[in-house]
Amino acid sequence: MSAVIGNHGRQDVATGTASALVAGAAERPIAFGSAGGVALRDFLDEVRGLAALLPDRPFALNLCEDRHRFLVAFAAAAVRGQVTLLPPSRTRAAIDEVRARHPDSYCLGDADACGCEDIAPLPHYLRLPDALPRAGGDMPRVADAAVVAIGYTSGSTGAPKANPKTWGSFAASTAQNMAALAGLLPVVGDTAHVVATVPPQHMYGMEMSVLLPLLGGVAVHEARPFFPVDIAAALASSPLPPLLVTTPVHLRALVGSGVALPPLAGIVASTAPLPQALAAEAEAAFGCEVREMFGSTETCILARRRTACEEAWTLLPGVELQPQPDGTLVRAAHLRDAVALADIVELLPGGRFRLCGRQSDLLEIAGKRASLGDLTHRLLAVPGVLDAALVQLEPDACGVRRLAAAVVAPGMDEATVRNALRQAVDPVFLPRPLRIVTALPRNETGKLPRRALLELLAAG
């Protein structure tokens, strides 16, 4: 069954072209783990079996922790003509907010509680059976024009926004991502194996650990390892050097842990800026290239760079940037319309560009100007500071928008950090207040929602 969707609601009878749900030979692995691999033919049987059990609702919120089961559930929903909702996080507040926008949705997962039932049981919740049902049949197809997912932005710069994605756009962006991974994947004849620390509900995780197995012929590890020893164990279960898909937060933890990793095909990082020094340390520690991806929920991945030795980004095939006074317009084959980003870029020859920050990051206080990104970099450079975030507050009674900071610096006090920072920045840009905290409220991908940061500062 394939379908198209109107007004992001219930799917209608298919029109136009439709494409196969998965690519590759029936015997190739699509997932792997401690128990071995899952062949494509078995995966398709599970998709057809689960599709028959799904409730008749237009929207599904997939909360599966096991990546193999997430794949099955996502594919089954697409086959049924349902749209998978991707919340910015799996906190109960984020789930409830997305479901409030889609009251005719349901949740499905692979556990009784899904780690988010701290308030009350989730309504309209379907727990996947321990033994997934199976059914034979032909290769499922999905209409290229069908909306199969709606991704919500993280809220790091404001309220989360909805971004619908069609099956055809996912197919086009996956082809671009395969090109972006050139040189990190095995030669023709071998199946690339991926271990991902990022959740599949995040758009980066969707691209690198869900769409690559479906449309790129890649096999993905079923788990989402968190601690360095668990990441090492997952990597070691791959039958050939795997690709590690991770975030700067996880990469920093891996480098600092001293845990030995098996030979890797490469490391891919995204979701937050990757410091050049960290990229170089990781390459030296693990003996492989660290490739950073640049993208967003709105655009999907659109550029790459080897951060250890490159400052400029290289656009993926077919992607074009058009600088604007307050940001950048992005055009690409997988985007129906041009997408406006807040990032300011400087175009360079050869399809390359340099990021110059965001218009919203430019500060002017008492007639002096600075960049929020540069100030954050200087704060992180203070010896003893492990993590930090700056935010510009709303205007005070005098109309001044002061800065505030939350800093993770064990053994240090606020005065010590502020005095050290005073040596590197103009006094008008010193954060007031500056709070010492035990940890920043980063989400599963290392992003820091503005609302959570403001709540932390208010509590302090």
Residue 399 pLDDT: 65
Residue 242 pLDDT: 96
CATH fourth-level superfamily of 366-459: ANL, C-terminal domain (3.30.300.30)
Cβ within 8 Å of residue 185, ≥6 positions away: 178, 192, 218, 243, 265
Residue 163: CB atoms within 10 A of its CB come to 18
CATH topology for the 3-310 domain:
Rossmann fold (3.40.50)
Residue 293 pLDDT: 97
Residue 7 pLDDT: 32
Task: Yes or no: say if 184 and 268 are a contact pair by the CB < 8 Å rule.
Answer: yes
Residue 118: CB atoms within 10 A of its CB come to 8
Cβ density class 375-395: b for 16+ within 10 Å, e for less: bbebbeebeebebbbbbbeee
Residue among 200, 181, 198, 194 at smallest CA distance from 290: 181
Residue 63: CB atoms within 10 A of its CB come to 24
Task: Yes or no: say if 296 and 335 are a contact pair by the CB < 8 Å rule.
Answer: no
Residue written as token pair 């480098």:
255
Distance CA 183, CA 268 (A): 12
Residue among 353, 231, 334 at smallest CA distance from 294: 353
Cβ within 8 Å of residue 123, ≥6 positions away: none
Cβ within 8 Å of residue 442, ≥6 positions away: 249, 448
pLDDT tens, the chain, 460 aa long: 334 333 333 444 445 899 999 999 999 999 999 888 999 999 999 999 999 999 999 999 999 999 999 999 999 999 999 999 998 777 788 888 899 999 999 999 988 755 554 545 677 889 999 999 999 999 999 999 999 999 988 655 556 788 999 999 999 999 999 999 999 988 767 899 999 999 998 999 999 999 999 999 999 999 999 999 999 999 999 999 999 999 998 998 899 999 999 999 999 999 888 889 899 999 999 999 999 999 999 999 999 999 999 999 999 999 999 999 888 999 998 999 999 998 889 999 999 999 887 766 777 676 667 778 778 888 888 888 888 888 888 777 666 678 889 999 999 999 999 999 988 888 888 888 899 999 888 877 777 888 888 888 888 6
**Domain ranges (residues) in the chain:** 3-310, 366-459
User: What's the whole-model pTM score?
Assistant: 0.83
Task: Yes or no: say if 71 and 215 are a contact pair by the CB < 8 Å rule.
Answer: no
Tokens of 108: 């499905």
How many residues in the chain? 460
